[in-house]
Amino acid sequence: MPPRRLSFSLNPLWMYYASRLALAIALICGLLRYVLLDYFDPMRCGALLSKGRFLDETHRNWQPDGCMMHSYGPKDASSCLSGRDVLFIGDSVTRKLFFQTAHLVDGALPTSPPDDEQKHADHTLVAKSGTRLSFYWDPFLNSTRVTDILVSGLGSGASNRLSPHSKPALLVLGSGLWYLRYSESSGGLPAWESNMEKVLNSISFAPSLVADEIVMLPVEEVVPAKLTRERAATMRMADIDAMNSDLYHRINPPSSDTVRLFYPNRPPMPVSYPAVFNLMLDPSRTDDGLHFSDDVVKIQANILLNSRCNDALPKKFPFDKTCCRRYPWPSFVYLAFLAFIFFLGPCMFARAWYEKGYTMSAVTTVLEENKSLLMYSGSLCLIYMADRTGFWLKEQKQFNSLSFVAFSLLALAAGLGTLKRSDKDLGFLNREQTDEWKGWMQVAILIYHYLGASKISGIYNPIRVLVAAYLFMTGYGHTTFYAKKADFGFKRIAQVMIRLNLYTLLLSYIMNTDYLSYYFAPLVSMWFLIIYATMAIGSRYNDNMAFLLGKIFASAGLISLFMREKWLLRSLFDILRRTCAIHWSADEWAFRVNLDLWVVYFGMLTALATIKIREHHFTEHPQWPLAFKTSLGLSAFVLLWYMIFELTQPSKFVYNTWHPYISFLPIGAFVVLRNASVILRSASSRFFAFIGRCSLETFVIQFHLWLAADTKGILIVIPATRWRLTNMVITTIVFVYVSHLVAEATGEITAWICGNEPKSLPTTSSTTAESSATRPEQIPLVSDSLHEPGKAQEASESDGTMRRIPSWADRLADGSSATTSSPTRSKLFADGWKPGLKTRVLGGLGLMWLLNVLWPTA
């Protein structure tokens, strides 16, 4: 009897379980850190001042532990300081920090003393905003002026008085190195310890704080190898370490955290101690071993302003500064809306379960019936928790070329490893191919966003082409549908617009952001309406190709004129502001539209050309093979030319001036090459196609659940910067999983709103600009027959049988594009009255208008 062979196989649902496990890990880690660790530092002020590291080798991107630091400029600094005084007292290290802080507040102010003779003098600078910044030279912090300031907030003498209308917004004290350098005359370390005790006691026991924030600088760590012989002999690292340890324990007593745990009303010493200043000092950034370069000190100045100003600045979108800052508490209307959305799904589930008698056997059925609403409530709650609370941490992005290449190669490997080939020619721009196309483009865009590669022109430029390619598919898909079906009814408009915008609109309210900030959905929606109007006007004459082309060119001219005359768009947005309380930026929207102004029309023309090629059997013409081979050679040349062209542009801003006029070239070249043979047309990647089917959701949800701080940072679910790669893996799994479920739920809800059976909804499986109603309209390059994948689906529905609902892992494994659907619907309306589609749409618009009017303005 032959020995039995050992066999091993993975559960086909392993990706489904892995996704739930990743979500559970993220929630548990976030909860434990939020409850246990963040109790003592809920605003991440301590992290800002004590922990961090540089993310780059050039020492420019400083990353505090678990929060995002804001780069201050004159506008934000002036808004925070509001014309009040800022006071620095100390030695030459403090003086250098003073000048860098002044330069951040007002770029016209100097970054150093005017000459060496004034190094040991007082300095006063006044910013354009009225903020007065003063530096008092007192390296020992033992003058009567220091005592007067700490006790009463007044300088010694009338000329040194602070502004009478307010105390300083910031008081910075620094001392220590002069006690070591001139130890014989100053008394050395014992004298410093005695004076620090006196200074800190004065602050601690003062009847009121002499400044909004008082900062005691650490004694700067020197670089002995670069010090002069005299300095090296007296400024010893052992003494500096002892002084910093003494300072830290005086300001942060070892028992203070325990005391605060049991006696939370007892305030800690009201002094900030930025120990992190010494962590960012690198020997290569100093010439004399004592004073460090301006860029390092500028980061230190930024930390001071982050500590003082972050929580004082207006708390509105984008929430891109999370160090030392509380998230705002929602207003009444905002809170009521959040509660309604978060509890809608659970309440509908509870109601349906109640109707079935709360029996355990009915749980599965009730969950399936209410899955879409539960998914909406759950996902929006998760996203709000991720990016509008401190439940998870946020950190800054950092571009790394090796990481970009590595992630791109991994994605390519996943795409090639899941290639499948159909038994027949699927035709030109077939459904699986367009899903794959949208998928790999979305993966590239996601990597680009995660690593913050927008500053790299050679990467930014082709990414712009990928966005243009989505718009090309919008023009191609919708034009194909209207040219073939001529269905200009309201239901079709509602299906596409709701499918594209439902989740995006809810997200803009939930996150209190600007709808246009999720620019892709608004952009595609606008172009769909333009395509609809272009095709619908005089639609009875659409069979006349000259008339149809005339309409397209007229549309292009009118839209170009409208976007060129900015006052027209500004007037339109002003009307929306006055009538609907919609506050959109006309300049930002004009930039988005003008950047891809022509590529949609190229898609429309391509759709018409493809239809005519099929209708007139041009593929059977004797000259077709020659023309086809010529187009292949020309396309290869165009792609090569484009790569050389975009890489040789001096900046992305220069490239943007060319982009509207050349983006169609690489797109058209890719389309021709991708459909060059039967093998290429019949082959597609299941991995990329899966991402493509939820690409709209991934584009929108990435703003808050994969990225963070409204795309300005990245989400950290496991604390500590060194776990960044692990964080990326976990958040990527959760992000894709949620995006997939939201895509299915949106299709289901869209079907319910439009009164469709979910499985026959044209837009159920469409997740990008091109609605799936257009997808059956695939026009082959060679074959005479029209590829209509929808027929098989209709046949499977006609038999009335119930099939197992596939999970996202099933769809990825078998490449299926079927969507889940509930056999029944939750009853949102009472039996006996069922509003029509137009009533539902009008009611939704009315609710949005009411929300806009009642919504609190920033």
pLDDT tens digit string along 485-542? 999 999 999 999 999 999 999 999 999 999 999 999 999 999 999 999 999 999 999 9
Catalytic residue among 19, 92, 739, 771: 92
pLDDT value for 196 = 93
Catalytic residue flag (residue 288)? yes
Catalytic residue among 291, 320, 585, 783: 291
Q: Predicted confidence band at 185 (pLDDT cuts at 50, 70, 90)?
A: confident
Residue 154 above 60 pLDDT? no
Catalytic residue flag (residue 685)? no
Average pLDDT over residues 690-696: 95
Per the prediction, the chain carries an average pLDDT of 86
Residue 71 above 60 pLDDT? yes
Q: Predicted confidence band at 825 (pLDDT cuts at 50, 70, 90)?
A: very low
Angle between helices 652-662 and 586-595 (to 10 degrees): 60
Integer Cα distance of 178 and 206 in angstroms: 27
Q: SS3 for 524-572, per residue?
A: HHHHHHHHHHHHHCCHHHCCCHHHHHHHHHHHHHHHHHHHHCHHHHHHH
pLDDT value for 805 = 37
Average pLDDT over residues 174-193: 91
pLDDT value for 834 = 76
Average pLDDT over residues 383-402: 94
Q: Residue 381 class from Cβ within 10 Å (0-12 exposed, 13-18 middle, 19+ buried)?
A: middle
Token pair listed for 220: 């700067």
Token pair listed for 741: 């479920």
The backbone torsions φ and ψ at residue 90, rounded to the nearest 5 degrees and listed phi first, read: 160, -145
Q: Predicted confidence band at 2 (pLDDT cuts at 50, 70, 90)?
A: low
Residue 779 above 50 pLDDT? no
* 86 contacts 169 by C-beta, under 8 angstroms: yes
CATH class, domain 45-309, is alpha beta
- The pTM assigned to this predicted structure is 0.86
Catalytic residue among 288, 487, 784, 814: 288
Integer Cα distance of 634 and 600 in angstroms: 22
Token pair listed for 69: 């630091």
CA separation, residue 49 to residues 63, 211, 216, 306, 592 (Å): 11, 18, 11, 10, 39
Measured in whole angstroms, the distance separating CA 828 from the mean position of its chain's CA atoms is 34
pLDDT value for 833 = 65
The backbone torsions φ and ψ at residue 4, rounded to the nearest 5 degrees and listed phi first, read: -75, 140
The backbone torsions φ and ψ at residue 181, rounded to the nearest 5 degrees and listed phi first, read: -65, -40
pLDDT tens by residue, 738-751: 999 999 999 999 99
Q: Where are the domains of the chain?
A: 45-309, 360-415+431-787+815-854
